Amino acid sequence: MLYHIFPLVRFLSLLSVLTFAVSSRIPLVSSRQATDADFFNPLLNGGSMLDQVPGVLGEPLNVIISAQSSPDVLTLGGIINFAKAIGFSTECLGIHSGAPQSANLGDGNGWVNQTIELREDYGDSVLGTCLESLIGGNHFRVFVQNGTEHPTGALFLAVSTEENVTEGHTTAPDGYDTGRDLFSAGAINSGGTTSFGGTTYSTAGVNMTGLIQPGSTGIEDGIATDGIVTLLTVTIV
């Protein structure tokens, strides 16, 4: 293993920048350790934990939905519904602007374009992402580890907060780490129980190091990351 586990304590450092009371909403953390059953480490087979923006730089794959999650969560419809349960939805009116990003998850597929991109919906799963497109917010891209060499089914997410449209939707300062933490908080807070469309989820998470090099080398917009990857296991209850 190249990664190490420790609690999701970084939320404490966000108290000064978040607008809601995190102090009473510290996430619950799973006591178990990550294993090869959760995902295959892309670095062990020529893959990367940075996706590829058109060009030479990339964004960190900073959240992984474990292959040990409920199978329905790992489908396209499943991740969309789970996203809606934690405050994200599909893009405004189904319109996507900009070129897709790609990732090599070391599963034998090589570089493959993102499966879908989902955006913060500000409490409105129908039109809320139109607001995100204007004022900015959190968003994430989904990549599936399903190649013939390592078909785990795990979902690798590139999560980040972005600036508003007048700033060209550039990544916000500390946007990779903040995006990851806010995404994880939405899934794990309230005892890890969320729901949407008649489906209820229980989510547990651990933080891992050793998969992404801390710093800004190779990262889009030159924004440094702390190198933490959050592993979430999402169970339908």
Task: Please write the tens of the pLDDT for every residue from 40-53.
Answer: 999 999 999 999 99
Q: How far apart are CA 133 and CA 129, in angstroms?
A: 6
pTM metric for this prediction: 0.86
Would you place residue 97 in the very low, low, confident or very high pLDDT band (cuts 50, 70, 90)? low
Which pLDDT does position 167 carry in this prediction?
57
CA-CA-CA-CA torsion sign (48, 218, 59, 34):
positive
List of residues 6+ apart from 107 with CB closer than 8 A = 40, 42, 45, 47, 145, 146, 147, 148, 149, 150, 151, 152
pLDDT-derived band of residue 160, with 50, 70 and 90 as boundaries? Answer: very high
Give the pLDDT score at 9.
39
Residue 86 banded pLDDT, cuts 50, 70, 90: very high
Sign of CA dihedral 39, 68, 32, 17: positive
Q: Which of 74, 23, 70 is nearest to 189 (CA)?
A: 23
- Summarize the confidence of residues 154-174 as an average pLDDT: 84
pLDDT band at 189 (very low <50, low <70, confident <90, very high): confident
Render pLDDT for 15-31 as a digit per residue (tens, 0 to 9).
Answer: 233 322 222 333 445 55
Query: Percentage of the chain surpassing pLDDT 90?
Result: 65
Label residues 84-122 b or e (16+ Cβ within 10 Å = b): bbbbbbbbbeeeeeeeebbbbbbbbbeebebbbbbbbbb
Closest of 7, 8, 60, 49 to residue 211, by C-alpha: 49
φ, ψ of residue 74 in degrees (nearest 5): -85, 5
**Are the CB atoms for 59 and 219 separated by under 8 Å?**
yes
